[in-house]
Structure 1
Amino acid sequence: MRLQPRDKDILSKLDRYGVLSTRQIKEIFFTNIASSTVLRRLRKLEKLNLIGRVHGLDEGLCAWTLAAKGTSTIGARDTFRYSNRNAIEHEVTLSALRMSLESVGLGTDWVTEMELKRRSFAQNRGRDRCEQVIPDGIFTAIYKDKPVVMAVELELHTKSSGRYEKLFREYLKRDSIFQIWYFVPSHSVGRRILSEWFLACQKYASGRKPYLGYTILEEALKSPRSMRLHNGTQPTEVGRYFKAKPALEPSPAQSNEVAHTPAHTVSGESVEAA
């Protein structure tokens, strides 16, 4: 089978986001085309070992990742592997969130959790490694005309108080992170996280600490231009705080330098998978 330009675009998109659902691929690449046609094409790519199918979504739906041949075809670095089906919903939702943020110019230099873990492992090989806190992703945004590091956490379900205490204790050591940005399904989840954060700050904070706030996930997915950041005071539209980094990039060289800031500042530190 001869690969079409759209096939290669699908492979590149899977390389960028790691995993996409059939519905997401249809919305991006097959607008106004029957779902049966979409599935037929994806199955052909699967048969060629270019992409792999992952089960675990609601209603029996599946998601797709790069397979070994697809990785080599586009010169990608690694193949994403998801052995835990419970993680698929999280990863597919995270891909949707990334695309929504990118639609308003945020997260264009996103560094994934997998990449952060890879760099952390490489930097700490042969040495004792402390427990690490690795967010779902990091990127840079502009705050008061300066680039700042944003750590993103997609929290579909709450954790125990003990886990939050351990997590936030480590985050409080990360002065390279400016904002910890949670995306949550409800205000009750968001308020719980804020409460645990304030408790951790009382116990462990010293010197400058990251800010923490949350945004309702549905708001971020459906109305990213007007989504609000809740930090325990008056909710504020995110656009009033942070601007898209590309808008203020003066040169490609500076762009490359800033884009690598998150990976260097976080993966080289002791940070725990959230």
Structure 2
Amino acid sequence: MLAGSLKAFRRRVPLIVICIALVFSLAPVVWFLLTSLKDRSETFQIPPAWFFTPTLDHYKNVMGFGGKLTSLYQAGRIDNFFDAAVNSIVIAVGSTLLSTFLGTIAAFGFARFRIKWENALLAAYLLIRMVPAVSLVLPLYRLFGFLGLNDTYTGMIIAESTFQVPFVVWMMTGFIRQVPASLEESGMIDGLGRFGAMMRITLPLISSGLFATVVFNFVQAWNDFLYPLVLTSQHTQTLPVTIIGFIADGNIFWGEMAAAGILVVLPVLLFSMLAQRYVLAGATAGAVKG
């Protein structure tokens, strides 16, 4: 009896650990969500108010409909939220597309050709990924200032890609090596070029890995704070930097900051869920066809 109970408990240990980790991970997010729905007077109430009348005033203020933050917008302390959202989308999508394209081409070369010092080159890519971003932001600022790329989409896309390309190279090299080169050779016999064989044969077979890489790069660019803080101004300011504007003149707009944080998280969450759905659908279809 005791042995059976102990065995059942051991089976439940992973579930218990997962639940504990989930609580620790979601607790700040839930608290942030509740703060965004509370009235300002309830935000610092002790003990915390778990039951309250939700309000969307903070969300209206963030999006410029409430009028409470008009002075901050006019003073330039925070950018227009919708303009910042457009900037974040352009920079995240642009850097993701650029880094995925360049990194995949480089990974294909590593996976399909004999390259001298291949391991050293891959280690160099990994080393670039390991360099702290804060050590590169000042050189990039000086370089972009000389080239006129500060506070531009082009500059931000290039800056974000510096960390994304090494990750793509490492990820995609492993995925491409899992695909037999003979499949590409068969396609080339049928008239495809090397690039066409990669695009029409190899990449569809590793779509799950490609989606995972794209999602990671998009999330990294969307959430990045340091590069936009230093390399952008009013014209290309992104959402993470815009949130700082809710700290002004010794006053912190906690409700608006929480609402802005929730609005910033939602697109990434939806994009990740959508990508996961297509990855699973593609894997299932491939299994059926195989």
TM-score by length of 2: 0.24
Higher helix share: 2
Answer 1 or 2: which has greater strand percent. Answer: 1
Q: Which has the higher contact order (CA 8 A, sep 6+)?
A: 2
TM-score w.r.t. the length of structure 1 is 0.25
Highest CA radius of gyration, 1 or 2? 2
